[in-house]
Amino acid sequence: MGMNITIIGSGYVGLTAGVGFAYFGNTVICTDIDVEKIAKLSQGICPIYETGLETLLKKNLEQGRISFTADTTTAVKDADIVFFAVNTPEGEYGKANLTYLLDAAKTVSALCKPETLFINKSTAPVGTSEKIREMIRQARGAHDFFIASNPEFLKEGTAVADFLVPDRVVVGADDPAAEKRLRALYAPLIENGVPFIVTSIPTAELIKYASNAMLALRISFINEIADFCELVGADVSVVAHAIGLDKRIGPHFLRAGIGYGGSCFGKDVKALTVSGEERGYEFKIIKALSTVNDLRYRIVIAKLTKHLPSLKDASIAVLGLAFKPMTDDVRNAPSLRIVHELLDLGAHIAAYDPIACEAFKRSFSRSSEIKFSHTMYDAARNADALVFLTAWDEFKTIDFSEAKKVMKGTLIVDGMNIFERNAVESQRFTYEGIGR
């Protein structure tokens, strides 16, 4: 039998989880402090680009399984489970900013019925669930509720599929009643054979950070190998393919490029490092990731200046603004820093992204200095160089001879190793990839 679920925070994670839990047959209410977002969602309009999300949202709305409100009191009063899925951005000195999360916990704590299960889905350092427990206990003046941690591992771009068919579900619970309710909630997945890991709350909280740190590590690792490849005339794509065939290593997350971006890896790596420092522990390898990645954007500038005498008044077509394909998310996207740097150096920028131009315009303070184009060929017009920053499928089918007709120069900087060198050079372009 379905449960009453309330989700606090209707962003990438909260909305996907809400739609997913509704699809499993629960009655879901999603809330947010962003009233505009709630108004859109109530009409079945998805504020983010995420494959399949709007279709599932509309279906659940039609079936009356999901609703949206900015009124927290109405949202939580009948909830069996309250999920926190609010943002936990990078705060001062790299520490996780828990303001939104603790505010949300504080707001709902006294409004819920007894025996409510409060679950933190936001990524937050070990000990945060305990903080939430203490805050709610104080507000209620009683310990008549349960706490659990249920970190989220979905990937933007494939969020719905990841939520409905995850690699695993991790649950941190220290009360059998909480565990039982979580098992019932995830029963559709457990029955499908999805591994369901029940552990202590601190272990669950740490699994999320360890997971993101590992993924960031693989990217930074292959980027270091890529830089060395350039010095010794090796090809990082072949290195990555060959090492990935070793079953102990595996093929994923070994694509050399311009560094990781997005709303999670950067801040989570830093938050884990600070969590260590707070306990007198130095994460030596994990700490180095931020240093390596923060400088990565410079590789694109170096590749351009290797061939163009000056970037002052050079015309650069930037193709790809999203931090990765299949999303319009530009939070911490390498494109933000690279375009900023190019503008500082006096370059003229024409930019194109299949879907992220609007998000980029909203996030980038100097958008008025950029010409946004409707096609990649339009962006390429009169360009001295094409710079690829996101590995969109659309770019893979570019007709280089068409691009050449409209371009001024012949330089291709392939920041995500989308193309084969020979294919580009055979069209009489100068090719600069990463580590090859």
Provide the binding-site residues for ligand NAD, judged by CB under 6 A: 8-14, 31-34, 37, 85-88, 100, 103-104, 122-123, 152, 154, 156, 263-264
Residue 158 or residue 430: which is nearer to ligand NAD going by CB?
A: 158
Q: How far is the CB of 19 from ligand NAD (least distance, A)?
A: 13
Is 264 catalytic? The answer is: yes
Torsions phi, psi for 302 (to 5 deg): -60, -40
Q: Which of 30, 46, 229, 264 is labelled catalytic?
A: 264
Closest to 374 (Cα-Cα) out of 391, 394, 345: 394
The CA distance from 379 to 369, in Å, is: 14
Residue 179 or residue 329: which is nearer to ligand NAD going by CB?
A: 329
Q: How far is the CB of 340 from ligand NAD (least distance, A)?
A: 22
Q: Rounded to an integer, what is the distance from CA 338 to the centroid of its chain? A: 19
**Beta-strand pair 81-84/117-120:** parallel
Contacts of 338 (CB under 8 A, 6+ apart): 258, 297, 300, 301, 318, 387, 389
**Token digits of residue 146:** 């349960």
Residue 84 or residue 419: which is nearer to ligand NAD going by CB?
A: 84
Element housing 307 (H / E)? helix 298-307
Residue 86 or residue 411: which is nearer to ligand NAD going by CB?
A: 86
Three-state SS for 234?
coil
Q: Rounded to an integer, what is the distance from CA 271 to the centroid of its chain? A: 16
Contacts of 236 (CB under 8 A, 6+ apart): 222, 225, 226, 229, 256, 417, 434, 435, 436
Residue 48 or residue 416: which is nearer to ligand NAD going by CB?
A: 48
Q: How far is the CB of 159 from ligand NAD (least distance, A)?
A: 7
Contacts of 131 (CB under 8 A, 6+ apart): 98, 102
Which positions are catalytic?
Answer: 264
